[in-house]
């Protein structure tokens, strides 16, 4: 799927032209930018036409959110991967974009090199959690007592309750905590005496739980945040 | 117009108007004709020609005036046949006034035309029903007409019969007719006035809100932008200012926190306070992630104080470009991890007289049953892990 010279083909979706041109100029050497869009409708049209490897997607867009773009494209083009980014993020918006299908989230203050790393990681099928997203996810799953037996109350009013999906393992929690503390995957691997690949597996597993969990706490958490 | 005569003859406008009103009453209407004549032939202040002079050149206007005057004369003559002698006393001034006003309307300046239009508007509105439903307008005009005819006929016959009370009843009827005839128009004017006032109040409220936002943006964002422009040659300072402003704006937009409000009531807010204090005092960016939150008690205040010390140490000594501050609230305990990728140090080699680490961090934590672990090696950065048991389990799963 990769474009010329193994560079990932990237579409930029952001309503700030200044930001798009900045990213385009900075990333020019490591990725191939195949198109830019500034709202939901033109983004859907562009992605369907160009079928990129990675879409760099602003969480907030005029006429909708980033999750609307993912929802519209996901069914037709499941192989297109999304990396969400935003400048000023309310946690519930970020979680919504991830739940819609984005494979990662970074803030716009991210350095150029790190952004290129993140895009390559997404292109190769891994997940990318920034320290802020790790914090949001820990927060969202924190409502649940840790350990296997905590599903009692939830199971009562939710028959399809799946404890596997609705908990983070101790190891996943550890990985997320370290990401939240600013560790890189390499540093986490060293700290926990595991391989980088294992770290990536843990992160992908957290992502899967975040996207597939039917846990109503996740929804409630978002609702509470919005009301607060 | 009255002021024109006043200026011409040297009286006050008010006394001129009163004189005209009295004249009109005592001469059964001749005064109004005189007023119109004066309006026609005395030039307005600042103008060379009177309206009358201009009207002489307006052949169409003269024709219209003569036509209308003739029409009114015929109507009055017919009325006079049924009511002998009455016409003679009242009609001439009216006929002359009508013709005069027609000429003024056609030849006056825009101001005068506007004031005439205002005089005519209610009659127009009554005739066309204004904005009302046509059926209602018809009924209204009909009722007004019946009342008017009754009233006028009673008035007209009253001077022959000597019943004293009848004129009073007749006047009441005429007044009622006028109210019915012009009522809706007055009502509309009243409504318009009220609506206008409400609109003005709403506009004022919106303006006030805008002013408030403007003043906040000025106190925070604009000040910061000005500072950034002045510090453009110092990238470190610019980044720090931008981050400070970003955090403040985020707190305001998403947290509802007023900029400049420094009192922290929860654990997470206190940790963010540490972040902003250290960033603004030492110019080192602090990345904060908080998980969960709860009210700040004495144990947690001690934890935050220790975390502040650790963060300041990192900012002062590590040389790192960024410090990570991670705070988590769990059911049984709260923890903070302060981490940097700076030069690090050998904990064994810290001089005994440096109280920062032993007293401010270890001592503070130990006194309340918490723990502090410092991991550091030269060249590999420093990590300070702090954990404090919570007094009661009031974890709010944020």
Most confident of A77-91, B12-26, B140-154: A77-91
- B365 pLDDT exceeds 80? yes
Judge whether B386 is closer than 8 Å to chain A, CB to CB: no
pLDDT of A223 > 80? The answer is no
Are residues B396 and B296 in contact, defined by beta-carbon separation less than 8 angstroms?
no
Least confident of A2-16, A51-65, B209-223, B286-300: B209-223
pLDDT value at B67 more than 80:
no
Question: How far, in Å, are A80, A114, B267 from residue A2 at the CA level?
Answer: 12, 20, 47
pLDDT at position A83 over 90 = yes
Close Cβ partners of B392 (under 8 Å, ≥ 6 residues apart): none
CA dihedral (A79, A19, A207, A178) positive or negative: positive
Which residue of chain B comes nearest to A182, CA vs CA? B324
CA dihedral of residues B193, B198, B201, B202 (deg, nearest 10): -140
- What Cα–Cα distance (Å) separates residue B173 from each residue in A35, A97, B1, B180, B187? 82, 76, 33, 10, 20
Averaged over B96-107, what is the pLDDT?
Answer: 72
Q: Which of A8-12, B75-79, B141-145, B368-372 shows the lowest mean pLDDT across its residues?
A: B75-79
Residue B324 contacts A where some CB pair is shorter than 8 Å: yes
Q: Where in chain A is the domain with CATH 1.10.10.10?
A: 135-227
Of B189 and B163, the structure prediction assigns the larger pLDDT to B189
What letter does residue B290 receive in the DSSP assignment? Answer: E
CATH 3.40.50.2300-classified regions of chain A:
4-125
pLDDT in tens, B45-66: 555 566 666 667 777 777 777 7
* pLDDT value, residue B294: 85
Contact: B398, A135; criterion CB under 8 Å:
no
Average the pLDDT over B263-277 and give the result.
84
ipTM of the complex in this document: 0.74
B192 CB within 8 Å of a chain A CB: no
Please report which confidence band the pLDDT of residue A80 belongs to, taking 50, 70 and 90 as the band edges. very high
When pLDDT is averaged across residues A171-199 and rounded to a whole number, the result is 91
Residues of B in contact with A225 (CB under 8 A): 398
CA-based nearest residue to B284, from B327, B250, B237, B242 = B237
CB pair distance less than 8 Å for B291 and A139: yes
- Higher-pLDDT residue of B348 and A161 is B348
pLDDT reported for residue B398:
43
- Residue B337: predicted pLDDT: 93
Nearest residue to A105 via CA among A207, A36, A208: A207
**Can you give the pLDDT at residue B120?**
63
- In the predicted structure, residue A173 carries a pLDDT above the cut 80: yes
Residue B3 has pLDDT above 80, yes or no: no
Q: What pLDDT, on a 0 to 100 scale, did the predictor assign at position A154?
A: 39
- Confidence band, pLDDT 50/70/90 cuts, at residue B354: low
Tell whether the model's pLDDT for residue A213 goes beyond 80: no
Tell me the shortest Cα–Cα distance from A186 to chain B, in angstroms. Answer: 14
Read off the pLDDT band of B124 (50, 70, 90).
low
Number of residues in chain B: 398
Domain A4-125 class in CATH: alpha beta
What would the mean pLDDT of A153-159 be, rounded to a whole number? 39
Of B244-253, B298-307, B314-323, B346-355, where does mean pLDDT reach its minimum?
A: B346-355
Distance CA B295, CA B266 (A): 4
Question: Residue A192 pLDDT more than 90?
Answer: yes
Please give the average per-residue pLDDT across B26-40, as a whole number.
63
Collapsed DSSP state (helix, strand, coil) of residue B266:
strand
Q: For the residues A156-184, what does the mean pLDDT come to?
A: 75
Q: What is the pLDDT of residues B7-23, one digit of tens each?
A: 555 555 566 666 666 66
Say whether pLDDT at B338 is over 90: yes
Predicted local distance difference test score (pLDDT) of residue B128? 54
Which strand (E) or helix (H) includes residue A85?
A: strand A81-86
Range from A89-93, A110-114, A123-127 that averages highest in pLDDT: A123-127
CA-CA distance, B39 to B42, in Å (whole number)? 6
Least confident of A56-70, A187-201, B182-196: B182-196
**Average pLDDT, stretch B256-277?**
76
Average pLDDT over residues B223-230: 78
Q: Give the whole-angstrom CA distance, residue B264 versus residue B272.
A: 9
Distance of CA A204 to the CA centre of its chain: 10
Q: Does B289 touch chain A (CB under 8 A)?
A: yes
Q: What is the mean pLDDT of chain B?
A: 73
B292 and A225 in contact by Cβ < 8 A? no
As given in the structure block, the two tokens for residue B302 are 């001690």
Neighbours of A176 (CB within 10 A): 26
Contacts of A182 in chain B (CB under 8 A): 287, 322, 324, 326, 339, 341
Interatomic CA distance for residues A69 and A43, integer angstroms: 7
Spell out which residues of chain A touch residue B330, defining contact as CB-CB under 8 Å: 142
All domains of chain B in start order, with CATH = 1-108 (no CATH), 262-389 (3.30.565.10)
State how far the Cα of B255 lies from the Cα of B272, in Å rounded to an integer. Answer: 12
A135 touches chain B (CB under 8 A): yes
Tell which wins on pLDDT, A167 or B164: A167
Q: How far is B358 from chain A (nearest CA, A)?
A: 23
Higher-confidence position of B169 and B319: B319
| Of A132, A221, A224, Cβ closest to residue B289 | A132
The predicted pLDDT at position A228 comes to 40
CATH number 1.10.10.10 is the correct assignment for the domain at A135-227? yes
Nearest CB neighbour to A181, from listed B339, B397, B398? B339
Contact B221, B249 (CB under 8 A): yes
Instruction: Please say if the pLDDT value at position B395 is more than 80.
Output: no
Is the pLDDT assigned to residue B260 strictly greater than 60? no
Residue B181 clears pLDDT 50, i.e. is over it: yes
The pLDDT value given to residue A165? 66
- How many angstroms separate the most distant Cα atoms in chain A? 54
Beta carbons of A88 and B250 less than 8 Å apart: yes
Most confident of A49-53, A215-219, B1-5, B49-53: A49-53
Residues of A whose CB is below 8 A from B383: 181
Identify the band that residue A147 occupies on the pLDDT scale cut at 50, 70 and 90.
very low
pLDDT computed for residue B30 by the predictor: 59
User: What does the block give as tokens for B203?
Assistant: 């506009």
Residue A193, pLDDT score: 94
């Amino acid at each position: 799927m990769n474009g010329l010279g193994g560079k990932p083909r990237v579409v930029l979706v952001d309503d700030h032209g200044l930001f798009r041109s900045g990213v385009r100029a900075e990333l020019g050497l490591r990725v191939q930018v195949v198109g830019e869009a500034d709202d939901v409708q033109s983004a859907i049209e562009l992605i369907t036409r160009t079928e990129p490897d990675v879409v760099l997607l602003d969480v907030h867009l005029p006429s909708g959110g980033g999750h609307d773009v993912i929802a519209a494209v996901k069914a037709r083009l499941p192989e297109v991967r999304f990396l969400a980014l935003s400048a000023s993020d309310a946690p519930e918006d970020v979680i919504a974009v991830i739940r819609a299908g984005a494979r990662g989230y970074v803030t716009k203050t991210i350095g150029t090199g790190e952004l290129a790393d993140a895009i390559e990681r997404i292109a190769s099928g891994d997940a990318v959690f920034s320290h802020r997203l790790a914090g949001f996810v820990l927060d969202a799953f924190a409502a649940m007592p840790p350990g296997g037996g905590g599903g009692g109350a939830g199971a009562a009013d939710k028959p399809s309750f799946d404890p596997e999906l609705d908990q983070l393992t101790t190891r996943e929690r550890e990985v997320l905590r370290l990401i939240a503390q600013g560790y890189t995957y390499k540093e986490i691997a060293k700290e926990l005496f595991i391989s980088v690949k294992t770290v990536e597996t843990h992160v992908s597993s957290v992502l899967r739980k975040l996207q597939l969990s039917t846990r109503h706490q996740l929804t409630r958490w978002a609702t509470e945040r919005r009301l607060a | 117009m009255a002021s024109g005569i006043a200026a011409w003859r040297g009286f006050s406008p008010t006394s001129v108007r009163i004189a005209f009103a009295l004249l009109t009453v005592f001469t059964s209407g001749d005064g109004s004709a005189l007023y119109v004549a004066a309006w026609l032939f005395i030039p307005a202040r600042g103008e060379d020609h009177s309206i009358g002079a201009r009207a002489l050149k307006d052949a169409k206007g003269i024709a219209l005036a003569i036509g209308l005057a003739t029409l009114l004369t015929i109507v009055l003559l017919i009325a006079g046949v049924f009511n002998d002698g009455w016409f003679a006393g009242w009609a001439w001034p009216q006929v002359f006034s009508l013709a005069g006003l027609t000429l003024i309307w056609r030849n006056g300046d825009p101001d005068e035309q506007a004031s005439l239009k205002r005089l005519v508007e209610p009659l127009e509105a009554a005739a066309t029903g204004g904005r009302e439903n046509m059926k209602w307008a018809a009924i209204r005009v009909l009722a007004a007409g019946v009342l008017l005819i009754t009233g006028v006929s009673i008035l007209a016959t009253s001077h022959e019969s000597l019943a004293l009370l009848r004129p009073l009843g007749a006047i009441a009827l005429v007044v009622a007719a006028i109210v019915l005839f012009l009522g809706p128009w007055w009502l509309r004017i009243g409504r318009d006035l009220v609506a206008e006032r409400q609109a003005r109040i709403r506009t004022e409220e919106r303006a006030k809100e805008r002013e408030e936002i403007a003043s906040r943006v000025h106190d925070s964002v604009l000040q910061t932008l000005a500072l950034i422009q002045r510090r453009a040659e110092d990238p470190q300072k610019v980044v720090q200012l931008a981050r400070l402003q970003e955090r403040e704006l985020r707190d305001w937009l998403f947290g509802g926190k007023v900029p400049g409000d420094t009192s922290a009531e929860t654990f997470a807010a206190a940790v963010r306070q540490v972040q902003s204090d250290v960033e603004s005092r030492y110019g080192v960016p602090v990345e904060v992630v908080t998980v969960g939150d709860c009210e700040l008690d004495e144990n947690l205040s001690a934890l935050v104080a220790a975390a502040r010390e650790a963060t300041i140490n990192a900012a002062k000594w590590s040389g790192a470009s960024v410090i990570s501050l991670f705070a988590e609230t769990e059911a049984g305990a709260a923890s903070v991890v302060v981490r940097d990728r700076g030069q690090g140090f050998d904990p064994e080699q810290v001089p005994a007289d440096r109280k920062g680490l032993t007293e401010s961090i270890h001592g503070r934590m130990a006194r309340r049953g918490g723990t502090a672990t410092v991991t550091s090696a030269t060249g590999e950065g420093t990590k300070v892990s702090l954990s404090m048991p919570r007094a009661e389990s009031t974890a709010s799963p944020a």
